[in-house]
Structure 1
Amino acid sequence: MTADRPDSVQRADTWTELQELITQEMWMSDIGRHRSPYVFRGVPNQSFSLETSITRFVGDSRKWPLEPLLLRNFAQYAASEMEEPQSVWHLLAIAQHYGLPTRLLDWSFSPLVAAYFATRTGNTDHDGAIWAVDYRKLHADLPDYYQSVLEMTETNMLDTHLLSNAILEYEMSEDRADGDGPAPARDLDDVSRIHELWQELWAPDAGESDEEYVMFFRPPAIDDRIVDQSAVFSFQSDPRIVLGQWLEDRPDCYRKIIIPGDRKLEFRDKLDQLNVNHRTLFPGLEGLATWLKQYYQPQSGSDSSG
């Protein structure tokens, strides 16, 4: 294993090894700073696939048109509970945050946050894992209208505002391709036209797409949980993509760090000492209660006094 091209699957048998693995490849010579090009996701069982909630929701039914239908109805019935979404991307981020089935997955800029989610259950029967994905490499293969916005803003990570600009770039490129000059703006990012956006850009077709891509973006700071977890969302052009399998064909774009089951409690306790725990990542009474249960729960063979 080398620092320049590490193995895709690695194993952290000790706390020291975990620290070394999650901080690999952080030096960016172009800016002279330590800044990781990775985003991270922790899973309690290393065999879990990176499967989106809409994939689990649709199951074997193949009823993918339910995806925009869910989002459109969420926008309608949640109107009194939230401010007017600024775009479809903004609405999609809110829906994901509150548990609506979407094609998004939760990630974090923080490897320690991911490590907590890999160890949070304390279940020693299964190895956990931290997925680390190099978003800069994946973004190099995004469609031109996303690339234009990334280049214009000199950034490697999009947000909901920049994604709206990307949709505008897409509309302009489509109008220019027609050869008849600018067409009236279709305003595909208007939340009232979710179905049109999905049908034109992201509806699964009968065959396999030649332009599959996965994109990462920063969600708006809806609440403290988004901020405290250093949240990032992934978006995939086709909801049928199983991201773990998709990444296996791109081994230079990811690493998977295995956390042995018998190290989970140790690692979780050490994360707690570093103030990375349920109380800090889930502000509120639920987070506090869960943290207290984890902190004080007796372990078999331990001395419960003191």
Structure 2
Amino acid sequence: MTAARPESIQRAETWTELQQLISQEMWMGDIGRHRSPYVFRGVPDESFSLETSISRFVGDSGKWNLEPLLLRNFAQYAADEIEEPRSVWHLLSIAQHYGLPTRLLDWSFSPLVAAYFATYTGDTAHDGAIWAVDYRQLHADLPDYYQAVLEMTETHMLDTHLLSNATLEYGLREDTGDRRAPARNLNDVSRVNELWQELWAPETERDDEYVMFFRPPAIDDRIVNQSAVFSFQSDPRLILDQWLADRPDCYRKIVIPGERKLEFRDKLDQMNVNHRTLFPDLEGLATWLKQYYQPQSQE
């Protein structure tokens, strides 16, 4: 495995340094705007791996066929609780949001949101970290059926609607090659098994591994307030931090010293980035109040 470049791992010893590091490379010359090509994920312990929940769930059992089984049964038993999913991608987003093991990981467009999740526990014994990944670079290596949709829409970021279009594009190419022929609707949630076998199963032959990012539907205020983004990986066995280590130009990792967590969390709170705003419900309010009024040692 290629070792990360020194500049890929950075350390924010002060609040000022943190502000400088999270705002790097925010100029996009092609559109003439300050828009970061990065998405961000905060972890309270910098040693935590970027492993998906389905990978942890399956563990060393090798039972990867549980992935579509979980998703299919989630759709069946949640029918009275959620709106009818518009596609498999829509269903996958809902399942991730409510804690079903999936191959998705939570990210944010906002580095401040990521900074909160790196500091929110207040655990000063462990350094936290913010992962920043350049989605534009990674999307340049996506399969053709995703590339076609990105080029057609002149964007670098996917969403569930565009992913549905890409799935239809794949169906057209893989069926008969005749674009006048009706495509299989692999977006139909009843065809989760078929889509999984063709595109998602670990044993499926594919040219290369890839990771892509997409905007989830605005299921509730948490998705909106957290500026949420999901990552999807072609192989659920892939551990993203290990995969990124071979692509040092595509990411940065900003380490937050444990002794700075409470300071940074308080300053984020002052900027209205806290549990109350990111989790706008009574549980979020209760967590914020505990953080706000928790007595601190005077040593």
Matched residue, 2:202:
204
Residue 137 and residue 6 in structure 1: after superposition, are their counterparts in 2 closer, same or farther (change >3 A)? farther
Matched residue, 2:97:
97
Matched residue, 1:194:
192
Q: Could you tell me how far 1:181 is from its partner in structure 2? A: 7.0
1:84-115, Cα deviation, whole Å (9 max, x unpaired): 10000000000000000000000000000000
Please give the residue correspondences for 1:24-39 in structure 2 after superposition, counting only pairs within 5 Å: 24-39=24-39
For 1:172, what is the secondary structure of its paired residue? helix
Task: Please say if residues 175 and 181 of structure 1, whose CA atoms lie closer than 8 Å, have aligned partners that are also in contact.
Answer: no
Task: Please say if residues 39 and 133 of structure 1, whose CA atoms lie closer than 8 Å, have aligned partners that are also in contact.
Answer: yes
Q: How far apart are the structure 1 equivalents of 2:33 and 2:183? A: 42
Q: How far apart are the structure 1 equivalents of 2:281 and 2:19? A: 29
Task: Please say if residues 157 and 217 of structure 1, whose CA atoms lie closer than 8 Å, have aligned partners that are also in contact.
Answer: yes
**Residue 283 in 1 paired to residue 276 in 2?**
no
Q: How far apart are the structure 2 equivalents of 1:74 and 1:218? A: 21
**Residue 58 in 1 paired to residue 55 in 2?**
no
Q: Could you tell me how far 1:186 is from its partner in structure 2? A: 1.8
Letter in 1 for 2:19: Q
Q: How far apart are the structure 2 equivalents of 1:185 and 1:164? A: 12
Q: How far apart are the structure 1 equivalents of 2:153 and 2:179? A: 26
1:257-285, Cα deviation, whole Å (9 max, x unpaired): 00000000000000000000000000010
Q: Identity of counterpart residues, as a percentage?
A: 83
Please give the residue correspondences for 1:1-306 in structure 2 after superposition, counting only pairs within 5 Å: 7-177=7-177, 183-205=181-203, 209-301=206-298
Task: Please say if residues 172 and 184 of structure 2, whose CA atoms lie closer than 8 Å, have aligned partners that are also in contact.
Answer: no
Give the gaps of 5 or more residues in structure 1.
none
Q: How far apart are the structure 1 equivalents of 2:234 and 2:179? A: 28
Letter in 1 for 2:10: Q
Letter in 2 for 1:59: G
Q: How far apart are the structure 1 equivalents of 2:204 and 2:131? A: 30
Task: Please say if residues 168 and 184 of structure 2, whose CA atoms lie closer than 8 Å, have aligned partners that are also in contact.
Answer: no
Letter in 1 for 2:215: R
Task: Please say if residues 212 and 231 of structure 2, whose CA atoms lie closer than 8 Å, have aligned partners that are also in contact.
Answer: yes
Letter in 1 for 2:121: T
Letter in 1 for 2:190: S
Q: Could you tell me how far 1:183 is from its partner in structure 2? A: 4.9
Letter in 1 for 2:80: S
Q: Could you tell me how far 1:184 is from its partner in structure 2? A: 4.4
Q: Could you tell me how far 1:173 is from its partner in structure 2? A: 1.4
CA RMSD of aligned residues (A): 1.5
Task: Please say if residues 198 and 204 of structure 2, whose CA atoms lie closer than 8 Å, have aligned partners that are also in contact.
Answer: no
Q: How far apart are the structure 2 equivalents of 1:225 and 1:137? A: 28
Task: Please say if residues 129 and 256 of structure 1, whose CA atoms lie closer than 8 Å, have aligned partners that are also in contact.
Answer: yes
Task: Please say if residues 113 and 276 of structure 1, whose CA atoms lie closer than 8 Å, have aligned partners that are also in contact.
Answer: yes
Q: Could you tell me how far 1:211 is from its partner in structure 2? A: 1.5
Task: Please say if residues 215 and 236 of structure 1, whose CA atoms lie closer than 8 Å, have aligned partners that are also in contact.
Answer: yes
Q: How far apart are the structure 2 equivalents of 1:274 and 1:206? A: 47
Residue 6 and residue 139 in structure 1: after superposition, are their counterparts in 2 closer, same or farther (change >3 A)? farther
Provide the TM-score with structure 1 as the length reference. Answer: 0.94
Letter in 2 for 1:280: T
Task: Please say if residues 51 and 239 of structure 2, whose CA atoms lie closer than 8 Å, have aligned partners that are also in contact.
Answer: yes
Q: How far apart are the structure 2 equivalents of 1:22 and 1:9? A: 13
Provide the TM-score with structure 2 as the length reference. Answer: 0.96
Q: How far apart are the structure 2 equivalents of 1:137 and 1:215? A: 10
Q: How far apart are the structure 2 equivalents of 1:153 and 1:182? A: 22
Paired residue total = 295
